[in-house]
A and B are shown apart, each in its own frame.
Chain A
């Protein structure tokens, strides 16, 4: 570590508070408690780091996309629905109290045992499940469903899908700083939801995001590249320009030496390490407003494995990664919103391969200090045949309602109509 690097260990110390029981809020259904939480969050000072902080106090948005169609009826199982067990004799998570049974949440819903890592942020009121939620676009195609969901234009196939909802939010919102980097995809590509956004780069690994080659010549090689890319139009020119500034920015941060706070232990999985880097980037406080993390592989047509198999392993990975992030952020979670979503849920009835085909209604996870969590928010449509949408869980809460509320209430957005065109969102009480 060189002397001019920001030591994220010490920088983050003033937000790194142990997750102690005093933070637990059991009054999540109480307006009084919610108001108190909002006040506390609003008065929390920004993380000090020596960087100038813009005048706007907004939450940082982390978008975690679960690609492939994550089955919300497994992760957050409606164990109070006998229909579930009739239609999934081999793959449903058993009710609480039975072997391998769900971890009860509210008497009707429960967590899959492998997702138990989510219980702690749920119990502090900082994790909200939104069930029977998703995109109302009828497509059961992964790629179409993702395209319309990330473009923010379900049911509007005539609208362009060249920009994403986050991209449009950023391009019409005032930056929180004059820094070079407003959004990061922790990946090799920028996902569709972030397309068209200003100062947005794919950074799969921030630690290696540095100019290549010998240090003796690096300054002159950078000048050469700048001369070559200076006249280029979008995307190459702006991408190169952001890259040069971002390299300087990230070179000053010691990612390899980053020490998570509060005893948080991230899984060694790709997701775990990417969430660790998300935490390090947020704590570095360099003006990043939105981050994207993708988790692939939720397309479980065969051998769902909800208890010990494939999906259980993925839920363990997901829940432990989110748990570690939540723990690591400490009080800093009050200025962060993590939204996990998928293009659709899966069919209610299991198929003959102990798997699940493409469905419709799904589950969103929303985590943050300003979130009215500790509950399952839903307008539950039921699982009996007459209550389904072509055999699938109905969507009774549009994902745009959830995101719009976050943008408006936690990020001060005034451009929601641009982000989600031709849609009038309903605030569902996602935020405190």
Chain B
């Protein structure tokens, strides 16, 4: 499913997810733990599409936190309230200024992350252990989402990881994706889109995934030529079939170092395999004899095309704001792209502006994808994680194992795609809090010590969501507590799992 398809689909479905009550407004109006975070002039606009009115409006800051992070944690809330809307957003847009030592320490368990492709090839792939490289990258991706203080950066990384999807199911791709994640996606996630697209085009992972390394003058292969236009830049409908063939010819000879040398995985252009005849791409004549420059001209044409600005702007608004972004907002984000030469931060400043959140407050909530759900549980609640690799298997049981979507369009971002699989989410929450996930331990005392029985549900709500569960949900969970014979650790685990299984916790 392409993002274009997603953006036009399921308006009825998507419009009926309701957003939850504001932080600090809990059961019976009792102000709870983060009451200071509420307020700030939340919108009272009704949701579009005829869905139920959200029970309580949120503030722009609350919505920004929900959309720019992987979920509630007390420290991030405190920081945002302390800095205020614009300053917190600016801090998040400069991730290098945010110390992230605790997360870095967790990642130290994964040596493959920082190795070159040559090193990973020699030390793992050639030893028959390529799976370890993939396992480390997946575990690291989850840990970063859950625990990095650079939350917006991680949300953007996930966005681009789907946009430039690379399926890791081939074992050589286990080597190349680590390089792609580090040197393409993360290196340019908040940089300039033209640099990101160029890095992807020159990267080994995409070349291998879409077969461009085999695309030669005598053996043209259209796969990359098509997807770079359809999925990476213009969007479908903005090019012709003859453009696909011409772009494929422009990228003939674009490959990567496949010999076992220190440069393994680096970009390589092979003039002998390049189709050096003249081409016409998007109405633009490319003269014969251009060599590697043919591909560069195509990249320039794509990044400077207004359709690319629109395509990226819509997809980004969809990711952060609403399944049905308003045309005026999309246009404003596209204008930011055009005016800044594709500066991703400039686009995000429009997408995440306070005025955008004022509009988004009137819109239905979005559905957390399983990866997001897992990250939001992990970052809200104290867990002792001794081995994060098992989380990858758990994500697989929800159909969302990182870097394993087979098609180049990336995992879908829609409630219609993810909204029917409730049982797998409940099962994940249950297993996680019950201690059934190896290497991820939960101690109920870390949350419930000295909390009276009548407060268990509210305590779980505070911890997990900063009190975003609806009163109905809190009452239902407390009724579960009240109906038990007594409070023990098993019951406390159930309470957390039920809160994480609530409808409110599936949305953001």
Q: Is the CB of A161 within 8 A of B8?
A: yes
Indicate if B283 sits at the interface (CB-CB under 8 A).
no
Q: How far is the CB of B211 from chain A (nearest CB, A)?
A: 5
Q: Which chain B residues lie closer than 8 Å to A233 at the CB level?
A: 16-18, 51-52
A231 at interface by CB-CB < 8 Å = yes
Question: Given A201-B420, A228-B472: A192 and B1 within 8 A (CB)?
Answer: yes
The contact string, 1 if C-beta is below 8 Å from chain B, for chain A 204-221, is 100001011110010011
Contacts of B51 in A (CB 8 A): 233
Name which of B30-38, B220-228, B352-360 contacts chain A.
B220-228
Q: How far is the CB of A317 from chain B (nearest CB, A)?
A: 15
CA distance A7 to B31 in the complex (A): 55
User: Which of B147-155, B294-302, B333-341, B409-417 makes up part of the contact surface?
Assistant: B409-417
Establish whether residues A227 and B479, one from each chain, have CB atoms under 8 Å apart when the complex forms.
yes
Verify A213–B420 contact, CB threshold 8 A.
no
| Closest B residue by C-beta to A142 | B407
Inside 8 A of B501's CB, which chain A residues have their CB?
Answer: 225, 228
Give the A-B pair count, Cβ closer than 8 A. Answer: 180
Q: Which B residues are closer than 8 A to A by beta carbons?
A: 1-2, 4-5, 8-13, 16-18, 51-52, 210-211, 214-216, 218-223, 226, 230-231, 236, 241, 244, 397-400, 406-407, 409, 412, 415-424, 426-427, 430-431, 434, 472-473, 475-477, 479-480, 483-484, 490, 494, 497-498, 501-503, 506
User: Does A235 count as interface, using CB distance less than 8 angstroms?
Assistant: yes
Q: Are A224 and B477 touching (Cβ within 8 A)?
A: yes
- Chain A to chain B contacts (Cβ below 8 Å), 26 pairs: A141-B226, A143-B231, A188-B424, A189-B417, A192-B1, A195-B416, A209-B423, A212-B430, A217-B490, A221-B498, A225-B426, A227-B476, A228-B473, A233-B16, A233-B51, A235-B416, A235-B419, A236-B506, A237-B503, A240-B503, A243-B423, A299-B223, A351-B221, A353-B221, A358-B222, A358-B226
Q: Are A351 and B219 in contact (CB under 8 A)?
A: yes
Give the residues from 170 to 224 in chain A that come closer than 8 angstroms, CB to CB, to chain B. 187-190, 192, 195, 200-202, 204, 209, 211-214, 217, 220-221, 223-224
Any B CB within 8 A of the CB of A390? yes
The closest CB in chain A to the CB of B406 belongs to A296
Check A229 against B2 for contact (C-beta < 8 Å).
no
- In the complex, what residues of B have CB within 8 A of residue A147's CB? 1-2, 5
Q: How far is the CA of A221 from the CA of B409 in the complex (A)?
A: 38
Residues of A within 8 A of B52 (CB): 233
Known A-B contacts A236-B17, A297-B406; the reply to A224 vs B498 at CB < 8 A is yes
Interchain CB contact under 8 A, A140 and B476:
no
Q: Which of B5, B210, B407 contacts A67 (CB 8 A)?
A: B407
Contacts of A155 in B (CB 8 A): none
* Cβ distance B314 to chain A, nearest Cβ, rounded Å: 15
A239 within 8 A of B: yes
Checking B9, B426, B497 against A162 with a beta-carbon cut-off of 8 angstroms, the contacting residue is B9
Q: Complex: how many Å from CA A141 to CA B214?
A: 20
Complex Cα distance, B427 from A351, in Å, reads 47
**Closest CB in chain B relative to A141 CB, distance in Å:** 5
Closest beta carbon of chain B to A344's beta carbon, Å:
12
Contacting pair A353 B214 (CB below 8 A): yes
CB distance from B15 to the nearest CB of A (A): 9
Known contacts: A144-B2, A147-B5. The answer to whether A240 contacts B236 by CB under 8 A is no
- A239 interface neighbour in B219, B223, B420, B494, Cβ under 8 Å: B420
Among B10, B220, B417, B480, the residue within 8 A (CB) of A352 is B220
CB-CB under 8 A for A188 and B421, given A142-B407, A143-B409: yes
In the complex, the answer to whether B11 meets A162 with C-beta atoms within 8 Å is yes
CB distance from A370 to the nearest CB of B (A): 30
Interchain CB contact under 8 A, B503 and A161: no
Q: Is the CB of A301 within 8 A of B502?
A: no
Taking CB as reference atom, which chain A residue is nearest B405? Answer: A296
Chain B residue at minimum C-beta to C-beta distance from A143: B2
Q: Is the CB of A212 within 8 A of B427?
A: yes
- B472 contacts A225, C-beta separation under 8 Å: no
Return the 4 tightest CB-CB contacts between A and B, nearest first: A352-B219, A188-B399, A235-B419, A212-B430
Q: Is A401 an interface residue (CB 8 A)?
A: no
Check: A355 CB closer than 8 A to any chain B CB.
yes
**Which of chain B's residues has its CB closest to A353's CB?**
B214
Which listed residue (B4, B415, B430) contacts A235, Cβ 8 A? Answer: B415
